[in-house]
Structure 1
């Protein structure tokens, strides 16, 4: 199974995705970590663009093909990145579980963004202004939505775990 957590920075997707991967033993792929490794390697001048997603898609496919569940943690802001995850799941012949993580309480979302500390060396957390300005295309078909203003990370992990175990 490929489980893709999407959403703007500060919604709680990393907290949920990381804990789900820990509890289930799934492979955990975090786009921020991959993109920062690309920057640190100095192989691309300027913005890494879609290269982090390309690396993550390839890693996901190789792990899915040997039978691992993969949890991807990404903003996933555009149709192209979402379609690429679908293609990975199709190529591996596994179920794709798309999860959009939101925080409907704007004050809480802003507080999270403004008080978070970076956990990836060399990568600075986004500002609230950059989150508000972030490109984010509407979904063609609405995925499962988890609103972290309405449930705790523990409750969210329980919901996703239950869905991942249900027959498809």
Structure 2
């Protein structure tokens, strides 16, 4: 199975992706980690898109081919990024489950973004102004395919109940 967590920075994608990866015994491919490594080793300066996504696709494809579940943690702000995950799952002949994560209270989302600290050397977390300026195109199920929309307004364990149910169907 290919599971993709998408959404703006600061919504809790990484926390949920880590939990899902642990439950599924899946590879966890975090675009931030890939991009931080690229920047840390001087291979490219930020922003490194679409390089991080291309690397994640290759690693995910080989992991899926080896029979492993894969959980992707990526903003996927534009339809082209979303289509890439759909094409990857189709090419691998594996089920795709997309989870879009949002925080519905702008004040809470801002608090989370402003409280974030980088957990990766080379990763600079975005400011609130950068998050709100991000050209995140609204999800369109006709264009982007089905997904579970979760409102990560409470605790991660509450949100994971919804995610778990979706992944098991």
Q: Tell me, yes or no, whether TM beats 0.5.
A: yes
Q: Distance in 2 between matches of 1:95 and 1:51?
A: 25
Matching residue of 2:84: 84
3-state SS in 1 of match to 2:139 = coil
Which runs of at least 4 in structure 1 moved beyond 3 Å after TM superposition?
none
Q: Distance in 2 between matches of 1:43 and 1:111?
A: 33
Deviation, 1:73, is 0.4
Deviation, 1:156, is 1.9
Deviation, 1:157, is 1.8
- The correspondence of residues 141-160 of structure 1 with structure 2, limited to 5 A, is 141=141, 143-149=147-153, 151-160=154-163
Q: Does 1:56 align with 2:52?
A: no
- The correspondence of residues 15-164 of structure 1 with structure 2, limited to 5 A, is 15-45=15-45, 47-141=47-141, 143-149=147-153, 151-164=154-167
Deviations 1:87-114 (CA, angstroms, capped at 9, x unpaired)? 1100100111111100001110000001
Q: Could you tell me the TM-score, scaled by structure 1's length?
A: 0.93
3-state SS in 2 of match to 1:22 = helix
Structure 1 unaligned residues grouped into runs of 5+: none
Q: Distance in 2 between matches of 1:62 and 1:27?
A: 11
**133-142 or 4-13: bigger deviation:** 133-142
Q: Could you tell me the TM-score, scaled by structure 2's length?
A: 0.92
Deviations 1:57-87 (CA, angstroms, capped at 9, x unpaired)? 1111111111111110010001111011011
Matching residue of 1:9: 9
Deviation, 1:38, is 1.2
3-state SS in 2 of match to 1:125 = coil
Structure 2 unaligned residues grouped into runs of 5+: none
Alignment check: 8 A CA contact 2:2 2:69 kept: yes
